[in-house]
Structure 1
Protein backbone atom coordinates (compact mmCIF):
# COMPACT_ATOMS: atom_id res chain seq x y z
CA UNK A 1 0.00 0.00 0.00
CA UNK A 2 1.17 3.54 -0.70
CA UNK A 3 -0.18 7.08 -0.56
CA UNK A 4 0.89 9.56 -3.24
CA UNK A 5 0.65 13.35 -3.10
CA UNK A 6 -0.87 14.80 -6.26
CA UNK A 7 -1.30 18.37 -7.54
CA UNK A 8 1.23 20.08 -5.35
CA UNK A 9 0.84 23.79 -4.54
CA UNK A 10 4.31 25.30 -4.27
CA UNK A 11 5.37 28.32 -2.21
CA UNK A 12 8.82 29.80 -2.88
CA UNK A 13 10.52 31.32 0.15
CA UNK A 14 13.83 33.20 0.31
CA UNK A 15 15.52 35.53 2.77
CA UNK A 16 17.00 38.74 1.42
CA UNK A 17 19.70 39.76 3.87
CA UNK A 18 20.79 42.89 2.05
CA UNK A 19 20.17 45.50 4.75
CA UNK A 20 21.20 48.38 2.48
CA UNK A 21 18.61 47.36 -0.11
CA UNK A 22 15.86 47.04 2.48
CA UNK A 23 16.75 50.40 4.05
CA UNK A 24 16.63 52.15 0.66
CA UNK A 25 13.33 50.48 -0.20
CA UNK A 26 11.84 51.55 3.15
CA UNK A 27 12.91 55.15 2.50
CA UNK A 28 11.41 55.09 -1.01
CA UNK A 29 8.14 53.60 0.22
CA UNK A 30 7.76 56.37 2.79
CA UNK A 31 8.56 59.06 0.20
CA UNK A 32 5.95 57.61 -2.16
CA UNK A 33 3.38 57.45 0.65
CA UNK A 34 3.95 61.15 1.26
CA UNK A 35 4.08 62.32 -2.37
CA UNK A 36 1.52 60.11 -4.15
CA UNK A 37 -1.76 61.97 -3.57
CA UNK A 38 -3.66 59.73 -6.03
CA UNK A 39 -2.51 56.62 -4.13
CA UNK A 40 -3.44 58.11 -0.78
CA UNK A 41 -6.87 59.06 -2.10
CA UNK A 42 -7.46 55.58 -3.57
CA UNK A 43 -6.39 54.03 -0.25
CA UNK A 44 -8.85 56.24 1.67
CA UNK A 45 -11.72 55.50 -0.75
CA UNK A 46 -11.12 51.74 -0.54
CA UNK A 47 -10.72 51.71 3.25
CA UNK A 48 -7.07 50.62 3.07
CA UNK A 49 -5.46 51.38 6.45
CA UNK A 50 -2.32 53.08 5.27
CA UNK A 51 -1.07 53.60 1.72
CA UNK A 52 -0.61 51.54 -1.43
CA UNK A 53 0.60 52.55 -4.88
CA UNK A 54 -1.41 49.65 -6.38
CA UNK A 55 -3.86 51.84 -8.33
CA UNK A 56 -1.77 54.96 -8.84
CA UNK A 57 1.82 54.25 -9.95
CA UNK A 58 2.77 51.62 -12.51
CA UNK A 59 6.32 52.75 -13.30
CA UNK A 60 8.28 52.32 -10.06
CA UNK A 61 11.37 50.71 -11.70
CA UNK A 62 11.64 53.73 -14.03
CA UNK A 63 10.78 56.21 -11.29
CA UNK A 64 13.38 55.12 -8.71
CA UNK A 65 16.65 53.18 -9.33
CA UNK A 66 16.20 51.10 -6.16
CA UNK A 67 13.03 49.57 -7.65
CA UNK A 68 14.94 48.81 -10.86
CA UNK A 69 17.54 46.96 -8.74
CA UNK A 70 14.69 45.13 -7.03
CA UNK A 71 13.13 44.25 -10.40
CA UNK A 72 16.35 42.50 -11.47
CA UNK A 73 16.58 40.63 -8.16
CA UNK A 74 12.94 39.52 -8.25
CA UNK A 75 13.31 38.36 -11.87
CA UNK A 76 16.19 36.07 -10.84
CA UNK A 77 14.11 34.53 -8.06
CA UNK A 78 11.11 34.12 -10.37
CA UNK A 79 13.28 32.30 -12.91
CA UNK A 80 14.47 29.85 -10.22
CA UNK A 81 10.89 29.24 -9.09
CA UNK A 82 9.64 28.79 -12.68
CA UNK A 83 12.33 26.17 -13.23
CA UNK A 84 11.28 24.38 -10.03
CA UNK A 85 7.69 24.40 -11.34
CA UNK A 86 8.93 22.80 -14.61
CA UNK A 87 7.60 25.73 -16.64
CA UNK A 88 8.76 26.42 -20.16
CA UNK A 89 8.52 30.15 -19.70
CA UNK A 90 10.75 32.98 -18.55
CA UNK A 91 8.64 35.10 -16.17
CA UNK A 92 8.57 38.82 -16.91
CA UNK A 93 7.77 41.38 -14.20
CA UNK A 94 4.42 42.89 -15.09
CA UNK A 95 3.60 45.07 -12.10
CA UNK A 96 5.06 46.14 -8.79
CA UNK A 97 3.50 48.22 -6.02
CA UNK A 98 4.33 49.28 -2.48
CA UNK A 99 2.25 48.90 0.66
CA UNK A 100 2.44 50.78 3.94
CA UNK A 101 -0.05 49.01 6.20
CA UNK A 102 -0.89 50.64 9.52
CA UNK A 103 -1.96 48.98 12.75
CA UNK A 104 -5.33 47.25 12.46
CA UNK A 105 -4.96 46.95 8.68
CA UNK A 106 -5.64 43.79 6.71
CA UNK A 107 -6.31 42.71 3.13
CA UNK A 108 -9.20 40.36 2.36
CA UNK A 109 -8.78 37.09 0.44
CA UNK A 110 -8.01 37.48 -3.26
CA UNK A 111 -6.11 36.12 -6.27
CA UNK A 112 -4.05 37.94 -8.92
CA UNK A 113 -5.72 37.48 -12.33
CA UNK A 114 -3.82 37.92 -15.62
CA UNK A 115 -0.48 36.86 -14.14
CA UNK A 116 1.39 33.60 -13.60
CA UNK A 117 3.43 34.35 -10.46
CA UNK A 118 2.76 36.78 -7.64
CA UNK A 119 4.66 37.60 -4.52
CA UNK A 120 5.56 39.85 -1.64
CA UNK A 121 8.78 41.16 -0.16
CA UNK A 122 8.58 42.27 3.48
CA UNK A 123 10.71 45.39 3.97
CA UNK A 124 9.86 46.37 7.56
CA UNK A 125 7.80 44.20 9.90
CA UNK A 126 6.86 45.61 13.31
CA UNK A 127 5.79 43.35 16.15
CA UNK A 128 2.17 42.23 15.78
CA UNK A 129 2.13 42.32 11.96
CA UNK A 130 -0.55 40.06 10.53
CA UNK A 131 0.43 36.84 8.79
CA UNK A 132 -0.20 36.13 5.14
CA UNK A 133 -2.70 33.27 4.93
CA UNK A 134 -2.84 30.89 1.96
CA UNK A 135 -5.98 28.89 1.24
CA UNK A 136 -6.08 25.33 -0.06
CA UNK A 137 -7.25 25.76 -3.70
CA UNK A 138 -9.41 22.61 -3.37
CA UNK A 139 -11.44 24.11 -0.54
CA UNK A 140 -14.49 25.06 -2.68
CA UNK A 141 -14.78 21.41 -3.83
CA UNK A 142 -14.61 19.92 -0.32
CA UNK A 143 -18.37 19.89 0.23
CA UNK A 144 -18.52 17.23 2.94
CA UNK A 145 -14.90 17.08 4.08
CA UNK A 146 -14.49 16.27 7.77
CA UNK A 147 -12.51 18.49 10.12
CA UNK A 148 -8.79 17.75 10.28
CA UNK A 149 -6.70 17.32 13.40
CA UNK A 150 -5.36 20.61 14.74
CA UNK A 151 -1.81 19.28 14.38
CA UNK A 152 -2.34 18.02 10.79
CA UNK A 153 0.75 18.31 8.57
CA UNK A 154 1.01 21.65 6.78
CA UNK A 155 0.25 20.12 3.36
CA UNK A 156 -3.09 18.80 4.67
CA UNK A 157 -4.36 22.01 6.26
CA UNK A 158 -7.09 24.15 4.72
CA UNK A 159 -5.19 27.35 5.59
CA UNK A 160 -1.50 27.99 6.15
CA UNK A 161 -0.29 31.18 7.83
CA UNK A 162 3.20 32.50 7.17
CA UNK A 163 4.45 35.07 9.67
CA UNK A 164 6.10 38.02 7.92
CA UNK A 165 9.66 38.97 8.80
CA UNK A 166 12.04 41.56 7.42
CA UNK A 167 13.65 40.41 4.19
CA UNK A 168 11.22 37.52 3.61
CA UNK A 169 10.46 37.02 -0.08
CA UNK A 170 7.49 34.83 -1.03
CA UNK A 171 6.42 33.76 -4.53
CA UNK A 172 3.38 31.68 -5.49
CA UNK A 173 1.28 30.86 -8.52
CA UNK A 174 -1.13 33.76 -9.03
CA UNK A 175 -4.28 31.62 -8.76
CA UNK A 176 -3.50 30.80 -5.13
CA UNK A 177 -6.00 32.60 -2.93
CA UNK A 178 -4.43 34.50 -0.04
CA UNK A 179 -5.14 37.25 2.47
CA UNK A 180 -3.32 39.46 4.95
CA UNK A 181 -4.50 38.80 8.49
CA UNK A 182 -5.25 41.81 10.72
CA UNK A 183 -2.28 43.57 12.21
CA UNK A 184 -2.47 43.98 15.98
CA UNK A 185 0.68 46.09 16.32
CA UNK A 186 0.86 49.86 16.05
CA UNK A 187 3.81 50.23 13.67
CA UNK A 188 3.82 50.47 9.88
CA UNK A 189 4.39 47.23 7.97
CA UNK A 190 6.19 47.98 4.70
CA UNK A 191 6.01 45.51 1.84
CA UNK A 192 6.29 45.35 -1.91
CA UNK A 193 3.93 43.18 -3.93
CA UNK A 194 4.36 42.18 -7.56
CA UNK A 195 3.10 40.10 -10.47
CA UNK A 196 4.91 38.25 -13.24
CA UNK A 197 3.30 37.47 -16.58
Structure 2
Protein backbone atom coordinates (compact mmCIF):
# COMPACT_ATOMS: atom_id res chain seq x y z
CA UNK A 1 0.00 0.00 0.00
CA UNK A 2 1.14 3.52 -0.70
CA UNK A 3 2.25 5.32 2.42
CA UNK A 4 4.66 7.87 3.84
CA UNK A 5 6.67 7.53 7.05
CA UNK A 6 7.66 10.79 8.75
CA UNK A 7 10.10 11.10 11.64
CA UNK A 8 9.13 13.57 14.38
CA UNK A 9 11.33 15.37 16.90
CA UNK A 10 14.73 13.94 16.05
CA UNK A 11 17.37 13.34 18.75
CA UNK A 12 20.47 15.23 17.55
CA UNK A 13 23.75 13.32 17.42
CA UNK A 14 26.76 15.29 16.19
CA UNK A 15 29.95 13.73 14.87
CA UNK A 16 33.13 15.52 13.83
CA UNK A 17 36.90 15.10 14.02
CA UNK A 18 39.68 16.95 15.80
CA UNK A 19 41.36 17.22 12.42
CA UNK A 20 44.92 16.63 13.59
CA UNK A 21 47.06 14.22 15.58
CA UNK A 22 47.56 14.73 19.29
CA UNK A 23 50.80 16.54 20.13
CA UNK A 24 53.54 15.02 22.29
CA UNK A 25 52.67 17.50 25.04
CA UNK A 26 49.01 16.48 24.94
CA UNK A 27 49.85 12.76 25.03
CA UNK A 28 52.16 13.32 28.00
CA UNK A 29 49.38 15.23 29.73
CA UNK A 30 46.89 12.38 29.19
CA UNK A 31 49.40 9.87 30.54
CA UNK A 32 50.16 11.96 33.63
CA UNK A 33 46.50 12.61 34.42
CA UNK A 34 45.70 8.90 34.23
CA UNK A 35 48.78 7.71 36.15
CA UNK A 36 46.79 7.79 39.42
CA UNK A 37 43.12 7.49 38.41
CA UNK A 38 40.07 6.95 40.57
CA UNK A 39 37.98 3.82 40.19
CA UNK A 40 34.66 4.35 38.46
CA UNK A 41 31.93 1.71 38.40
CA UNK A 42 33.49 -0.44 35.68
CA UNK A 43 36.57 1.53 34.58
CA UNK A 44 38.79 4.44 35.71
CA UNK A 45 38.63 8.24 35.52
CA UNK A 46 41.05 11.08 36.11
CA UNK A 47 40.94 12.77 39.51
CA UNK A 48 40.95 16.11 37.73
CA UNK A 49 37.41 17.02 36.61
CA UNK A 50 38.53 20.21 34.89
CA UNK A 51 41.15 18.88 32.48
CA UNK A 52 40.10 21.29 29.71
CA UNK A 53 40.93 24.22 31.99
CA UNK A 54 44.64 23.32 31.99
CA UNK A 55 47.25 24.96 29.75
CA UNK A 56 48.11 21.87 27.65
CA UNK A 57 44.44 21.44 26.70
CA UNK A 58 43.67 24.94 25.44
CA UNK A 59 44.06 24.09 21.76
CA UNK A 60 41.77 21.08 22.11
CA UNK A 61 39.29 23.08 24.18
CA UNK A 62 39.04 25.71 21.44
CA UNK A 63 38.20 23.05 18.83
CA UNK A 64 35.62 21.41 21.10
CA UNK A 65 33.99 24.76 21.88
CA UNK A 66 33.81 25.61 18.17
CA UNK A 67 32.00 22.32 17.46
CA UNK A 68 29.77 22.87 20.48
CA UNK A 69 28.83 26.32 19.13
CA UNK A 70 27.97 24.79 15.77
CA UNK A 71 25.90 22.02 17.38
CA UNK A 72 24.01 24.62 19.43
CA UNK A 73 23.34 26.77 16.37
CA UNK A 74 22.03 23.82 14.34
CA UNK A 75 19.84 22.29 17.03
CA UNK A 76 18.53 25.32 18.98
CA UNK A 77 18.86 28.22 16.51
CA UNK A 78 17.80 30.64 19.23
CA UNK A 79 17.52 34.43 19.24
CA UNK A 80 18.44 34.51 22.92
CA UNK A 81 21.89 35.84 23.79
CA UNK A 82 23.03 32.50 25.18
CA UNK A 83 25.65 29.86 24.48
CA UNK A 84 26.70 26.46 25.77
CA UNK A 85 29.90 26.50 27.80
CA UNK A 86 32.02 23.57 28.90
CA UNK A 87 31.74 22.88 32.63
CA UNK A 88 33.28 19.62 33.90
CA UNK A 89 35.78 17.67 31.81
CA UNK A 90 37.65 14.48 32.64
CA UNK A 91 39.62 11.61 31.17
CA UNK A 92 38.45 7.99 31.18
CA UNK A 93 40.56 4.85 30.85
CA UNK A 94 39.28 1.36 30.19
CA UNK A 95 41.51 -1.68 29.85
CA UNK A 96 40.78 -5.20 28.61
CA UNK A 97 37.66 -6.44 30.38
CA UNK A 98 36.58 -2.96 31.50
CA UNK A 99 33.38 -1.35 30.27
CA UNK A 100 31.49 1.89 30.80
CA UNK A 101 28.11 1.39 32.45
CA UNK A 102 24.93 2.80 30.93
CA UNK A 103 24.28 6.28 32.30
CA UNK A 104 23.19 9.86 31.66
CA UNK A 105 24.84 13.16 32.64
CA UNK A 106 22.74 15.20 35.11
CA UNK A 107 23.22 18.98 35.40
CA UNK A 108 24.36 19.16 31.78
CA UNK A 109 22.63 20.18 28.55
CA UNK A 110 24.93 18.62 25.95
CA UNK A 111 27.74 16.16 26.63
CA UNK A 112 30.69 15.28 24.47
CA UNK A 113 33.46 12.75 23.99
CA UNK A 114 36.84 13.09 22.29
CA UNK A 115 38.47 9.73 21.51
CA UNK A 116 42.19 9.56 22.27
CA UNK A 117 42.89 5.84 21.92
CA UNK A 118 40.67 2.86 21.17
CA UNK A 119 40.46 -0.40 19.23
CA UNK A 120 39.64 -0.37 15.49
CA UNK A 121 36.06 -1.60 16.04
CA UNK A 122 34.96 0.40 19.06
CA UNK A 123 32.55 3.20 19.75
CA UNK A 124 29.60 4.25 21.89
CA UNK A 125 26.11 2.83 22.44
CA UNK A 126 23.03 5.02 22.80
CA UNK A 127 19.84 3.58 24.25
CA UNK A 128 16.16 4.37 23.79
CA UNK A 129 14.29 5.40 26.93
CA UNK A 130 12.46 2.16 27.72
CA UNK A 131 10.60 3.73 30.65
CA UNK A 132 7.91 4.82 28.20
CA UNK A 133 7.43 1.34 26.72
CA UNK A 134 4.46 -0.37 28.34
CA UNK A 135 4.56 -3.39 26.01
CA UNK A 136 7.12 -5.89 24.75
CA UNK A 137 7.31 -7.24 21.23
CA UNK A 138 10.00 -9.46 19.72
CA UNK A 139 11.64 -7.52 16.91
CA UNK A 140 12.21 -9.44 13.68
CA UNK A 141 14.78 -6.84 12.65
CA UNK A 142 15.99 -3.60 14.24
CA UNK A 143 14.90 -0.43 12.48
CA UNK A 144 14.92 3.31 13.10
CA UNK A 145 11.50 2.93 14.73
CA UNK A 146 11.92 -0.09 17.01
CA UNK A 147 15.62 -0.38 17.88
CA UNK A 148 16.49 -0.07 21.55
CA UNK A 149 20.20 0.57 20.90
CA UNK A 150 22.09 2.74 18.43
CA UNK A 151 25.83 2.05 18.02
CA UNK A 152 28.23 4.67 16.67
CA UNK A 153 31.64 3.37 15.65
CA UNK A 154 34.37 5.90 16.39
CA UNK A 155 38.07 6.35 15.79
CA UNK A 156 40.98 8.27 17.28
CA UNK A 157 40.32 12.01 17.13
CA UNK A 158 36.56 11.67 16.66
CA UNK A 159 34.26 14.06 18.54
CA UNK A 160 30.72 13.05 19.52
CA UNK A 161 28.14 15.51 20.94
CA UNK A 162 24.71 14.45 22.22
CA UNK A 163 21.94 15.54 24.63
CA UNK A 164 23.08 14.77 28.17
CA UNK A 165 19.82 13.02 29.11
CA UNK A 166 20.31 10.27 26.51
CA UNK A 167 21.38 6.97 28.07
CA UNK A 168 24.72 5.77 26.73
CA UNK A 169 27.52 3.37 27.56
CA UNK A 170 30.45 1.38 26.19
CA UNK A 171 30.85 -2.36 25.69
CA UNK A 172 33.62 -4.24 27.48
CA UNK A 173 37.05 -3.78 25.93
CA UNK A 174 37.99 -7.08 24.29
CA UNK A 175 41.49 -6.23 23.08
CA UNK A 176 44.72 -5.67 25.00
CA UNK A 177 44.57 -1.90 24.68
CA UNK A 178 44.13 1.18 26.83
CA UNK A 179 40.88 2.81 25.74
CA UNK A 180 41.25 6.52 26.55
CA UNK A 181 38.70 9.27 26.02
CA UNK A 182 38.05 12.82 27.17
CA UNK A 183 34.48 13.57 28.22
CA UNK A 184 32.86 16.89 29.04
CA UNK A 185 29.58 18.45 30.14
CA UNK A 186 28.06 21.81 29.28
CA UNK A 187 25.49 24.28 30.53
CA UNK A 188 23.77 27.45 29.38
CA UNK A 189 25.58 30.74 29.85
CA UNK A 190 23.56 33.84 29.04
CA UNK A 191 19.89 34.70 28.64
CA UNK A 192 17.02 32.22 28.64
CA UNK A 193 13.32 32.90 28.18
CA UNK A 194 11.52 36.23 27.73
CA UNK A 195 10.99 39.04 30.19
CA UNK A 196 7.45 39.73 28.95
CA UNK A 197 6.47 36.14 29.77
CA UNK A 198 7.97 36.38 33.27
CA UNK A 199 10.33 33.49 32.57
CA UNK A 200 13.59 35.27 31.78
CA UNK A 201 16.68 33.87 33.45
CA UNK A 202 20.24 35.11 33.21
CA UNK A 203 23.01 32.62 33.95
CA UNK A 204 26.68 33.53 33.85
CA UNK A 205 29.12 30.66 34.24
CA UNK A 206 32.40 31.46 35.97
TM tier, shorter chain? 0.7 to 0.9
1:133 aligns with 2:154: no
Query: Is residue 100–residue 189 contact of structure 1 (8 Å, CA) maintained in 2?
Result: yes
Query: What does residue range 1-197 of structure 1 map to in structure 2 within 5 Å?
Result: 1-21=3-23, 24-34=25-35, 37=36, 40=37, 42-43=38-39, 46-49=40-43, 51-53=44-46, 56-63=47-54, 65-88=55-78, 89-127=82-120, 129=122, 131-137=123-129, 139-153=130-144, 156-197=146-187
Query: Is residue 128–residue 184 contact of structure 1 (8 Å, CA) maintained in 2?
Result: no
Structure that is richer in helix per residue = 1
The number of residue pairs the alignment matches comes to 182
* CA apart distance, 1:87: 4.5
What is the TM-score when the length of structure 1 is the normalising length? Answer: 0.82
In the superposition, relative to structure 1, how do residues 100 and 146 fare at CA in structure 2: closer, same or farther (>3 Å)? Answer: same
Structure that is richer in strand per residue = 2
* CA apart distance, 1:127: 4.3
Deviations 1:27-54 (A, max 9, x none): 31111122xx4xx3x31xx4544x311x
Cα distance in 1, alignment partners of residues 87 and 170 from structure 2 = 22
Cα distance in 2, alignment partners of residues 67 and 12 from structure 1 = 21
Query: Is residue 102–residue 189 contact of structure 1 (8 Å, CA) maintained in 2?
Result: yes
Task: From the CA coordinates, give the structure whose radius of gyration is larger.
Answer: 2
Question: 159-168 or 90-99, which moves further after superposition?
Answer: 159-168
Question: 144-153 or 108-117, which moves further after superposition?
Answer: 144-153
Cα distance in 2, alignment partners of residues 177 and 97 from structure 1 = 19
* CA apart distance, 1:4: 2.1
Q: Which runs of 4+ in 1 moved over 6 A?
A: none
What is the TM-score when the length of structure 2 is the normalising length? Answer: 0.79
Cα distance in 2, alignment partners of residues 97 and 9 from structure 1 = 25
Where do 5+ consecutive residues of structure 1 fail to align?
none
Computed over aligned residues only, the root mean square deviation of the Cα atoms, in angstroms, reads: 2.1
Partner SS state of residue 5, structure 1: coil
